[in-house]
C-alpha cells in the first residue's frame, strides 16, 4: 500500500481545528511508517506555513514532526510562494515540488502523479 498525506491546514488560523488536522496528519503518517508502509507527506496551500512552526522545539507537535520528517516528500512551490513558506522549507532541506505546471505559478504537486504511483491520497 502506498499513501500520500497532504497537509492543507493553516497554522495562522489560530484554531484548534487547524492544529488538530496537522496533528492527525502527522500521526497518520507515523502510523503508516510504524507499520512499514510506504507513506509520504506533502505540505500544500496554507499548510506550507507549518514548517516554520514545527521546527520550533517548543511546538506541541515538534517531536511527532521529527519522528516523520524523513517521510516529507516536499512542499508545494507555488503555494509556498503565495503563503510565505518557501524560506523555512528550503532552510529545513525540503524539496519545493513543481510537478504540476499550473499557469501563473512556479508549480505545484501533481495529485494525478501521486495516483499514477498507486498512492491513496489523504487530505488534512
How far is 37 from 53, CA to CA, in rounded Å?
27
Q: Are 31 and 66 in contact (CB under 8 A)?
A: no
CATH number where 62 lies: 3.40.1260
Question: How many folded domains does the chain comprise?
Answer: 1
Q: Is 74 exposed, middle or buried (0-12, 13-18, 19+ CB in 10 A)?
A: buried
Burial category of 71 from C-beta neighbours within 10 Å (exposed 0-12, middle 13-18, buried 19 and up): middle
Q: Which domain holds residue 119?
A: 2-123
Range 91-101 average pLDDT = 95
User: Structure pTM?
Assistant: 0.95
For the segment 23-71, what is each residue's pLDDT rounded down to a tens digit?
999 999 999 999 999 999 999 999 999 999 999 999 999 999 999 999 9
Would you place residue 14 in the very low, low, confident or very high pLDDT band (cuts 50, 70, 90)? confident
Amino acid at each position: 500500500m502506498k499513501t500520500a498525506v497532504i497537509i492543507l491546514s493553516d497554522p495562522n488560523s489560530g484554531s484548534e481545528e487547524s492544529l488538530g488536522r496537522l496533528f492527525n496528519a502527522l500521526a497518520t503518517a507515523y502510523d503508516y511508517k510504524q507499520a512499514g508502509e510506504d507513506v509520504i507527506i506533502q505540505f500544500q496551500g496554507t499548510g506550507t506555513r507549518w514548517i516554520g512552526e514545527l521546527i520550533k522545539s517548543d511546538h506541541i507537535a515538534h517531536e511527532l514532526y521529527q519522528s516523520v520528517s524523513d517521510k516529507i516528500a516536499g512542499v508545494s512551490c507555488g503555494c509556498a510562494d503565495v503563503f510565505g513558506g518557501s524560506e523555512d522549507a528550503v532552510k529545513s532541506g525540503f524539496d519545493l515540488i513543481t510537478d504540476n505546471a499550473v499557469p501563473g505559478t512556479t508549480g505545484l504537486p501533481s495529485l494525478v502523479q501521486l495516483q499514477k504511483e498507486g498512492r491513496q491520497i489523504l487530505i488534512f
